[in-house]
């Protein structure tokens, strides 16, 4: 997934979001010195290659009442981890889903962030996941955050 | 970012429809608001007005392209530490002082400090994690992603 200097310029110009004007891609074109047609073509190409995951609006889930979340972790049989991870990631209430290495004293390889309106709802969804994993899961836990200690965006600034 | 629910009457049916529909995607074409608005029964200008308001009241966190950070050349790793309660604040200060620490959460578990390391170079991850181990005398467990699954996350407004 390679990106060139012009792609980087487009990333830099849209990282904060799309301009809210009738012709946002023309506005980006004017800002980056590339034609509107090329902006559109390149954004579509990056979308097709997965550099852009989607162009969309992200609702603030806290504002919409989903104020509880928990990091659920599962010790899933290796041979079935990819297949089952895909099923868990596709659930509407899971916002992140990864396979990660186990560590000493840490038997869990599947991580799934669960969101809900309350902790009870998160626990209920956790049971839904447990039912999907069935006997392929040996052990599980859930970690609730008690405090945000630091929150800064990813500071990746592709040079333009 | 707003972390509290909006009052029940903050959004009308049109706002909810916009939130539900546009989280699925937004057109990449010359007049995208007109196109997306037509499907919602709104003019392009009306849709822009609505999105401005939704942003203003904190109902939206982002509107635009979502980039795959790794595709942009970055390296990331989730890390965890078991920090003795008496040392928690001091260790937090040491960890947070590194600009590579993108976010850090306290969690109710034996492993009570969880943070993400982000760096432009893959070797930066181990370098910073080793540095934190040296500074704190505590182990930094590293959980790099081995596989990421497609996310179906959807918020119903």
Give per-residue pLDDT as tens, B94-105.
999 999 998 899
The residue with tokens 């979340």 is A69
Read off the pTM: 0.85
Residue A158: predicted pLDDT: 43
Tell me the average pLDDT of chain B.
94
Q: Would you call B104 and A149 a contact, using CB atoms and an 8 Å cutoff? A: yes
At A1, is the pLDDT very low, low, confident or very high (cuts 50, 70, 90)? low
Contact call for residues A60 and B57 (beta carbons, < 8 A): no
Of residues A34, A136, A21, A10, the one with CA closest to residue A78: A136
Q: What is the mean pLDDT of residues A104-127?
A: 96
* Nearest-5° Cα angle at B151, B149 to B155: 160
Q: What is the ipTM of this complex?
A: 0.85
Cβ distance A57 to B118 less than 8 Å, yes or no, reads: no
Is the pLDDT assigned to residue B65 strictly greater than 50? yes
**Which of the four pLDDT bands, split at 50, 70 and 90, describes residue A153?**
low
Question: Cα separation of A108 and A72, whole Å?
Answer: 10
- Pick from B102, B141, B156: which is nearest to A103 by CB? B141
Say if B99 is an interface residue toward chain A (CB within 8 Å): yes
Chain A residues within an 8 Å CB radius of B45 = 22
**So what's the pLDDT on residue A41?**
98
pLDDT in tens, A70-111: 999 999 999 999 999 999 999 999 999 999 999 999 999 999
Gap between the Cα atoms of A22 and A19, Å rounded: 9
Asked if B153's CB is within 8 angstroms of A155's CB, the reply is: no
pLDDT value at position A160? Answer: 34
Name the A residues in 115-154 with CB < 8 Å from any B CB: 115, 141, 143-154
Q: Coil, strand, or helix at residue B103?
A: strand
Print burial letters for A72-98: b (CB count within 10 Å at least 16), e (below 16). bbbbbeeeebeebbeebbebebbbbbb
- Scan for tokens 């073509």, then name that residue: A41
Q: Does A159 touch chain B (CB under 8 A)?
A: no
Instruction: Examine the pLDDT at A133 and tell me if it is beyond 70.
Output: yes
Question: Please, which residues 67-126 of chain A have a Cβ atom closer than 8 Å to chain B?
Answer: 67, 71, 81-82, 85-86, 88-101, 103, 105-106, 109, 111, 115
Q: What is the DSSP letter of B10?
A: G
Complete domains list, chain B, with CATH: 13-57 (1.10.10), 70-144 (3.30.70.3460)
From the number of C-beta atoms within 10 Å of its C-beta (0-12, 13-18, 19+), residue B31 rates as middle
Which residues have CB under 8 Å from A39's CB, separation 6+? A10, A25, A26, A28, A29, A32
Residue of B46 and B156 predicted with greater confidence = B46
Residue A159: which pLDDT band, with cuts at 50, 70 and 90? very low
């Amino acid at each position: 997934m390679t990106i060139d200097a012009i792609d980087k310029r487009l990333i830099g110009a849209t990282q904060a979001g799309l301009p809210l004007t009738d012709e946002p891609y023309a506005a980006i074109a004017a800002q980056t010195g590339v034609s509107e047609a090329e902006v559109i073509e390149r954004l579509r190409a990056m979308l097709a290659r997965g550099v852009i995951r989607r162009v969309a609006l992200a609702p603030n889930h806290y504002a919409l009442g989903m104020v509880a979340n928990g990091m659920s972790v599962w010790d899933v049989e290796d041979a079935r981890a990819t297949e089952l991870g895909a099923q868990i990631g596709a659930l509407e209430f899971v916002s992140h889903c990864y396979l990660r290495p186990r560590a000493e004293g840490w038997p869990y390889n599947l991580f799934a962030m669960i969101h809900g309106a309350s902790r009870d709802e998160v626990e209920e969804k956790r049971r839904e996941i447990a039912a999907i994993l069935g006997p392929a899961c040996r052990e599980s836990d859930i970690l609730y955050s008690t405090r945000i200690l630091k929150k800064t965006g990813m500071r990746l600034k592709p040079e333009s | 970012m707003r972390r509290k629910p909006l009052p029940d009457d903050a959004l009308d049916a049109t706002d909810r429809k916009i939130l539900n529909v546009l989280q699925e995607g937004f057109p990449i074409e010359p007049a995208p608001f007109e196109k997306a608005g037509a499907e919602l029964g709104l003019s392009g200008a009306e849709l822009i007005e609505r999105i401005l308001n939704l942003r203003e009241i904190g109902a939206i966190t982002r509107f635009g392209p979502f980039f795959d950070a790794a595709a942009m050349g970055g390296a990331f790793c989730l890390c965890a530490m078991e920090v003795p309660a008496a040392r928690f604040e001091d260790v937090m200060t040491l960890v947070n002082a590194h600009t590579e620490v993108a976010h850090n959460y306290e969690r109710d578990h034996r492993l009570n400090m969880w943070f993400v390391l982000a760096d432009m170079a893959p070797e930066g991850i181990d370098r910073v994690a080793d540095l934190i181990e040296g500074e704190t005398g505590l182990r930094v467990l590293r959980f790099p992603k081995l596989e990421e699954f497609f996310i179906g996350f959807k918020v119903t407004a």
